[in-house]
Amino acid sequence: MLKLSQPNISEAAIAAVADVLRSGQLVHGQECEAFERELATYLGCSDVILVSSGTAALHVALQALDIGLGDAVIVPDFTFPATANVVALTGARPVIVDVVPGTYTLDTVQLEQVIQSWDGVERLRAVLPVHEFGCIADMREINRIAKSYGLAVVEDAACALGARQDQRKAGTLSDVGCFSFHPRKTLTTGEGGALATNDAALAARMRRLRNHGMERTISGMQFFEPATNYRMTNFQAALGRAQLPLLDEWICQRTILASIYKELLSPLEKAGVLALPRLVTGHSWQTFMVVLDASINRDEVIGELRARGVETNLGAQSLSCIGIYGEPQVRSVFGPALYKYGLALPLFERMTMDDVSLVAEAVSQVLLGESA
Ligand SMILES: *Cc1c(COP(=O)(O)O)cnc(C)c1O
């Protein structure tokens, strides 16, 4: 079976983890400190704060901006539910805005309309764009809109470590960027995540929020605010450090494979059975998702591809379809469609061009009803 994705853990990475386990320094330590420095250098930002997951990163970012009860935060309809869950967990209201086809990221026209016509009892505080599958949302436009309405911007860059826009990296284009190192992402520490910022005060607050609200002062440990434990372990950091120098090469390989997919599948797009993602410059290609025509039963396609040895899956969820975040301001069109008809194809850097051909062939056979 050709898997949807596969973590890329070298023997050197395993050895680095084993070294930490033998050292006895399992939680905070040199590996965490070094990984934070190396990530900050890689991203080109002043501070990186490691945490225990991408969800933890999002939660800490919102807490650090003092977002809570009585506030509202704008989130895109098409994402993993963690994006909206963290907003709700702070006590704030997630406000769902639709996404656009092709990039699957926040619709900035609807974003501005929703802000302009906002009449909720909550105070709009922030925009939380998602760089879906490694495609950076239109950050120039989002930052312009946020600035003119006095809103903070937090990037959900969970899928987008290493993606670029205007020569800058995903997660450094706003107040705070949030990353995930879950095994489904390109660089993995098992569970894990990170925050990136250029704001020293925010960085200090986020360090405290990931560690029981505690800071070491000259008079010893002091607890400044209620917070939880969102720390990453030292051996997870060692695992991440071993992969970071390889990341750009992996993204480069994924970009090549994505463009081959696009080429091989374009006859199907012309035939009207699916739509392909846009090949956006700087995309990090965590996932390659096509959108099937609405006349096609996606779950049947997943089953038929599995029978041909190809693992596929839905791409992401539609928050408005989940229905636990309250009534939307504007009814979404594309978020629900991407959720219902999106099909994520295998993509990871160790796939070969032959693997991509095999998948494209299987997809053609299934969609055009040809026998294998
Ligand atoms: C993976 C993901 C998350 C959650 O990250 P975890 O590390 O699994 O907590 C949040 N948002 C998006 C867009 C993701 O893809």
Question: Are residue 27 and residue 160 in the same domain, yes or no?
Answer: yes
Instruction: Count Cβ neighbours within 10 Å for each residue of 239-278 and write b for 16 or more, e otherwise.
Output: bbbbbbebbeebbebbbebbebbbebbeebeeeebbbbbe
Residues 6+ apart with CB under 8 A from 240: 35, 181, 187, 188, 189, 192
The angle formed by the CA atoms of residues 93, 83 and 63, to the nearest 5 degrees, is: 65
Question: Are residue 241 and residue 257 in the same domain, yes or no?
Answer: no
Write out the residue range of the structural domain in which residue 26 sits: 11-246
In a domain, 337, yes or no: yes
Residues with CB under 6 A from ligand 1: 53-55, 79-80, 82-83, 130, 156, 158-159, 180, 182, 193
In a domain, 6, yes or no: no
Residue with CA nearest ligand 1 atom 7: 54
Last residue of a domain, one of 246, 264, 295: 246
Rounded-to-integer distance, Cα 81 and Cα 92, Å: 15
Q: What is the mean pLDDT of the chain?
A: 97
Question: Are residue 87 and residue 228 in the same domain, yes or no?
Answer: yes
Among residues 103, 133, 130, the alpha carbon closest in space to that of 284 is found at: 133
Contact 87, 128 (CB under 8 A): yes
Task: Look at residue 327 and tell me whether its pLDDT is greater than 90.
Answer: no
Question: Are residue 237 and residue 251 in the same domain, yes or no?
Answer: no
In a domain, 5, yes or no: no
CATH number at residue 292: 3.90.1150.10
- Residue 372: the pLDDT is 44
In a domain, 119, yes or no: yes
295 alpha carbon – ligand 1 mean position (Å): 30
What integer is the mean pLDDT of 343-348?
98
Question: Are residue 223 and residue 340 in the same domain, yes or no?
Answer: no
158 alpha carbon – ligand 1 mean position (Å): 5
Residue with CA nearest ligand 1 atom 14: 158
What's at 90, amino acid-wise?
T
Instruction: Report the atom number in ligand 1 closest to the C-alpha of 79.
Output: 13
Using one digit for the tens of pLDDT, what is the confidence trace for 51-64? Answer: 999 999 999 999 99
- Residue 166: the pLDDT is 86
Ligand 1 mutation target, pool 5, 52, 55, 287, most atoms within 8 A of CB: 55
260 alpha carbon – ligand 1 mean position (Å): 27
- Residue 359: the pLDDT is 98
Among residues 101, 110, 77, the alpha carbon closest in space to that of 320 is found at: 77
User: Taking the CA of residue 185 as centre, how many other CA atoms within 13 Å lie in the half-sphere pointing to its CB?
Assistant: 30
What integer is the mean pLDDT of 344-358?
98
Using one digit for the tens of pLDDT, what is the confidence trace for 231-259? Answer: 999 999 999 999 999 999 999 999 999 99
101 alpha carbon – ligand 1 mean position (Å): 21
Question: Are residue 172 and residue 153 in the same domain, yes or no?
Answer: yes
Among residues 154, 149, 76, the alpha carbon closest in space to that of 116 is found at: 149
- Residue 329: the pLDDT is 86
Contact 163, 284 (CB under 8 A): yes
Question: Are residue 239 and residue 271 in the same domain, yes or no?
Answer: no
Percent residues over pLDDT 90 in the chain: 97
Question: Are residue 163 and residue 300 in the same domain, yes or no?
Answer: no
Last residue of a domain, one of 224, 246, 268: 246
Rounded-to-integer distance, Cα 199 and Cα 361, Å: 49
Does the pTM exceed 0.85?
A: yes
In a domain, 2, yes or no: no
Question: Are residue 86 and residue 218 in the same domain, yes or no?
Answer: yes
40 alpha carbon – ligand 1 mean position (Å): 20
249 alpha carbon – ligand 1 mean position (Å): 23
298 alpha carbon – ligand 1 mean position (Å): 23
Last residue of a domain, one of 214, 230, 246: 246
Instruction: Report the atom number in ligand 1 closest to the C-alpha of 286.
Output: 15
